[in-house]
Amino acid sequence: MPQDCCAPEGNVMILACSGGSNVGQLSNQAAVELTQEGFGKMFCLAGIGGHLNGFVQSAADIPQMVAIDGCSLGCAKALLEHTEIPNKSYLVLTDLGIEKNKDFKLKREEIEKVKKAIREVCNQEQAAIPMAEAGSSSCCG
């Protein structure tokens, strides 16, 4: 598959809600799979929430990140606000039409839908990052 000119090259920090519902687990599973595919790197949202210095500093310094919340409660978003880390890209899975429930048998089509939405929101953010800040020779500067 040809690489999208504007696709992040593994430098996206992925912060996923891992809440106690299907959408929390969809967020987590999509983050795991995107990391395995080399799209970005899943990072420990709990470490940021725990105010662990290295985690907070890494999140503050990264040029591109996406925070993924399962639902409109917005736990990941609130955590970033609480630690004063700018939220660069943001996605809420229930906004994609996925209904929140307690069914942990994740559907492949929903995982793929979430991964596609994450890629899209990251590509929009990537296009807005100046090349020097992104540290890339991407055509999207």
The C-alpha atoms of residue 36 and residue 30 are separated, in whole angstroms, by: 10
- In this structure, is residue 102 part of a structural domain? yes
CATH number, position 62: 3.40.50
Instruction: Write down the pLDDT at residue 123.
Output: 87
Domain count along the chain: 1
- In this structure, is residue 106 part of a structural domain? yes
- In this structure, is residue 1 part of a structural domain? no
Asked whether the predicted pLDDT for residue 82 surpasses 60, the reply is yes
- In this structure, is residue 108 part of a structural domain? yes
- Where residue 107 falls among pLDDT bands split at 50, 70, 90? very high
The C-alpha atoms of residue 138 and residue 38 are separated, in whole angstroms, by: 16
Mean pLDDT of the chain: 85
CB 18 within 8 A of CB 24: yes
- pTM equals 0.82
The C-alpha atoms of residue 64 and residue 50 are separated, in whole angstroms, by: 21
Q: If DSSP codes are grouped into helix, strand and coil, which group holds residue 21?
A: coil
* Residue 95 in tokens: 């906004």
- In this structure, is residue 138 part of a structural domain? no
Give the tens place of pLDDT for each residue, 42-51. 999 999 999 9
Asked whether the predicted pLDDT for residue 140 surpasses 80, the reply is no
Give the tens place of pLDDT for each residue, 124-135. 876 665 544 444
Which range marks the domain in which residue 40 is found?
12-132
Integer CA distances (angstroms), 23 to 43, 51, 53, 136, in order: 18, 25, 29, 33
- For 84-137, the DSSP string reads T----SEEEGGGGTPPP-S-----HHHHHHHHHHHHHHHHHHHHHS-HHHHTS-
